[in-house]
Amino acid sequence: MAAPSVAVDNLNPKVVLKCEYAVRGEIVIHAQRLQQQLQTQPGSLPFDEILYCNIGNPQSLGQQPVTFFREVLALCDHPCLLEKEETKSLFSADAISRATTILASIPGRATGAYSHSQGIKGLRDAIAAGIASRDGYPANADDIFLTDGASPGVHMMMQLLIRNEKDGILCPIPQYPLYSASIALHGGALVPYYLNESTGWGLEISDLKKQLEDARSKGIDVRALVVINPGNPTGQVLAEENQRDIVKFCKNEGLVLLADEVYQENIYVDNKKFNSFKKIARSMGYKEDDLPLAGDASYASYKAEKDGILQSLARRAKALENAFNNLEGIKCNKTEGAMYLFPQLSLPQKAIEAAKAVNKAPDAFYALRLLEATGIVVVPGSGFGQVPGTWHIRCTILPQEEKIPAIISRFKAFHEGFMAAYRD
């Protein structure tokens, strides 16, 4: 018999070697192990719960879903409910009416059928109307492709754009690892540009231009520019002027602009507003989006739930940011949007050497120690990319608000101990 020809060491190396996904990497696996240990041997660790600040996964940390969305979803899942009398007392009137409208737009009211490849036309019409209303410019349902989450959309674009290893995509550093992983998976070249930490993670056209020319001089055919706004993991919100320059740059250089705007509702500062690149590209004007309207039965509770979530996130962001900035050797930019803080660590030389001795990046070493001492899970900045020689961690603002003070005090105690232990 022949030996099996397929084994881990001869799988597609693009998948096995190049795709690293720090938000689900070593630290998280270690945290899951510690969580099991807490269950089987309570009291065996210096903390009694694991606090996941690594992944932007609010509902896993107790954030409640928005009732209106869930009502509509349940009614569309099981449309027979709409014919029952009891439904009127169980569901809000506007959820019933919204589900009825959605079902009417689905051929045969068949929510279990394959749809048009771009997504159900009636839903794309509603989304186009919402975008038009948000931006003040017309939107066309035929230009919209619905995907199940952002990742398949990014993969689809990379697959279309990347033909071989000489095709490049301009990506911010730090960036969300979905971009580096999907570019590697599709066999292209990541062309980095650095966000400027000293100007609040600003995106500078001069750096874009320099990186583009540098890549072209190496024979890379740069095809697209990725912009994440609000930023992940960096939390900044782009200024309108800056966005105009980016659009102009893409037009001049013949680049596809890939705008990741998933955090458009998560803005925490009064002096910044989210502007879609679609709107910027067509220029000026801003209105409301297509959700329950004032006067609808659910509107008050919908608005209260949504505002409650966003206001609480803003308070958590501010509390964590202040706490980080009060610690020796940590400097944290303001979180203007999204769900993350990305503080910079100035670590003592001794700590850097201790990390090197165990073959770890200094920020990964720090994150591992933090986990072991406190149960707090963060992601090392090296998973997102950073200016060489700088070290960061990404910490979400998602743990429940009442847990934030405990997180801050545990973090503070750990950090002070760490700095004292490795002081140069």
Listed as own residue / partner, the contacts of 14-22 with beta carbons closer than 8 Å and 24 or more positions apart are 14/184, 14/185, 14/186, 14/187, 15/185, 18/181, 18/184, 18/185, 19/181, 19/184, 19/185, 20/177, 20/180, 20/181, 20/383, 21/177, 21/181, 21/383, 22/177, 22/379, 22/380, 22/382, 22/383, 22/384
From the list 37-45, 161-169, 202-210, 286-294, the region that binds a copy of itself by CB under 8 A is 161-169
Establish how many alpha carbons lie within 13 A of residue 369's alpha carbon, considering only the half-sphere containing its beta carbon.
22
Identified binder of a copy of itself from the candidate list 207, 221, 290, 401, rule CB under 8 A: 221
Nearer to a copy of itself, 113 or 420 (CB): 113
In the complex, what is the shortest distance from the CB of residue 87 to a copy of itself, in angstroms, rounded to a whole number?
A: 7
Per CB under 8 A, the list member of 33, 37, 46, 65 interacting with a copy of itself is: 65
Q: CB 184 → a copy of itself: shortest distance, Å?
A: 12
DSSP state of 66: P
Residue in 124, 223, 279, 316 binding a copy of itself, rule: CB under 8 A: 223
Pick between residue 135 and residue 167 the one whose CB is nearest to a copy of itself. Answer: 167
With a CB cutoff of 8 Å and minimum separation 6, the contacts of 247 are 257, 277, 280, 281
- Which of 18, 20, 24, 129 forms a contact with a copy of itself (CB under 8 A)? 24
- What are the residues whose beta carbons fall under 8 Å from the beta carbon of 237, sequence distance 6 or more? 229, 230, 231, 267, 269, 272, 273, 274, 336, 337
Number of chain positions touching a copy of itself (CB under 8 A): 62
* Residue 70 interacts with a copy of itself (CB under 8 A): yes or no: yes
Q: Closest Cα partner for 396 from 193, 176, 242? A: 176
Query: Contact with a copy of itself (CB under 8 A): which of 34, 38, 45, 74?
Result: 74
Q: Which residues contact 115 (CB under 8 A, 6 or more apart)?
A: 106
Determine, following the binding rule CB under 8 A, whether residue 208 of this chain makes contact with a copy of itself. Answer: no
* Binding residue for a copy of itself, selected from 1, 29, 294, 358, defined by CB under 8 A: 1
Based on the shown chain and the rule CB under 8 A, indicate whether residue 61 belongs to the binding site for a copy of itself: yes
Instruction: Considering the complex, state which of residue 277 and residue 366 has its C-beta at the smaller distance from a copy of itself.
Output: 277
- Residue 174, preceding bond cis, omega within 30 degrees? yes
Assess 78 for contact with a copy of itself (CB under 8 A).
yes
Beta bridge partners of 222: 168
Q: Which stretch binds a copy of itself (CB under 8 A): 74-82, 190-198, 202-210, 266-274?
A: 74-82
The rounded distance, in Å, linking the Cα atoms of 155 and 160 is: 9
The reply on whether position 67 binds a copy of itself by CB under 8 A is: yes
The site string for a copy of itself over 227-266 (x = CB under 8 A, - otherwise) reads: ------------------------xxxxxx----------
Among the listed residues 331, 395, 338, the one whose alpha carbon sits nearest the alpha carbon of residue 51: 395
Residues linked to residue 395 through DSSP beta bridges, in sequence order? 341
Query: Residues in the chain, how many?
Result: 424
Q: Is 17 in the site for a copy of itself (CB under 8 A)?
A: no
Binding site for a copy of itself (CB under 8 A): 1-6, 10-16, 24, 55, 57-62, 65, 67, 70-71, 73-75, 77-78, 80-81, 84, 86-87, 89-90, 107-108, 110-114, 117, 148, 159-163, 185, 221-224, 251-256
